[in-house]
Amino acid sequence: MYFVYELMDPRNDEVFYVGKGKGNRPAQHVKAAIKGIRTAKCARIRDILDARLQVRVIFVREFKTEKAAYAYERKHIDRIGLENLTNMQPGGPATWVTKADPDLQMLSVIALFAKKTKGLRDGVYRWRCCGEWFVLPDTFLVGLRKRLDAIQASRGYEWTAKVLAAHKVTLRPAAVLRAGL
């Protein structure tokens, strides 16, 4: 049996992570946080543990197949909003991001950039990571734009747009990255 679950902060009853798993998968997040893994999810878990509280695990729904669980996880994350969670991607199997295809890896980074940034003023953007906001230099933005252009040139606009659409990011031809791709 597979399931979709939420990790909830007991201090404010806020869901901060949605996952798919089986067995003791939710407990593995706490173990990772205790080990010192540096992610926004683990930082939140450590804050909860430091307050001498326990992360709440809510089992949302069970599934017979992994495929059905992944599909529901994606919908559930979309319903809550990726920007409201510490999830790094919009659900589904994570393996495509970690495969050896550098174009897929880079598009994942670009999609995260589009979803996890907020503009302060023209040309200055912040990136939410590990529970904090970091100012991004223009060189980072230019580098992402050049890499996106190179991927489009080699793989084509249709392929690039389809991969980004899986992250619910719209690609506009000749758009500036700061404008939201």
What pLDDT score does 166 carry? 65
Q: Which of 118, 152, 151 is nearest to 135 (CA)?
A: 118
What's the number of domains the chain is made of?
A: 2
Q: Where are the alpha helices (DSSP H) in the chain?
A: 25-35, 40-50, 66-80, 95-98, 102-116, 138-155, 157-166
Query: pLDDT per position in the chain (181 positions), as tens?
Result: 999 999 999 999 999 999 999 999 999 999 989 998 877 888 899 999 999 999 999 999 999 999 999 999 989 998 998 778 888 777 777 544 444 466 666 676 676 666 656 555 555 666 665 556 666 666 666 677 777 778 778 877 777 777 776 666 666 544 434 444 4
Claim to verify: residue 102 and residue 168 sit in the same structural domain: yes
What pLDDT score does 162 carry? 72
Claim to verify: residue 62 and residue 109 sit in the same structural domain: no
Q: Which of 171, 166, 179, 178 is nearest to 78 (CA)?
A: 166
What pLDDT score does 34 carry? 92
**CA of 169: how far to CAs of 41, 108, 160, 181, in Å?**
22, 10, 11, 8
User: For residue 41, what is the domain's CATH number?
Assistant: 3.40.1440.10
CA dist 77 and 15 (Å) reads: 10
Claim to verify: residue 84 and residue 34 sit in the same structural domain: yes
Which structural domain range is residue 174 located in? 96-179
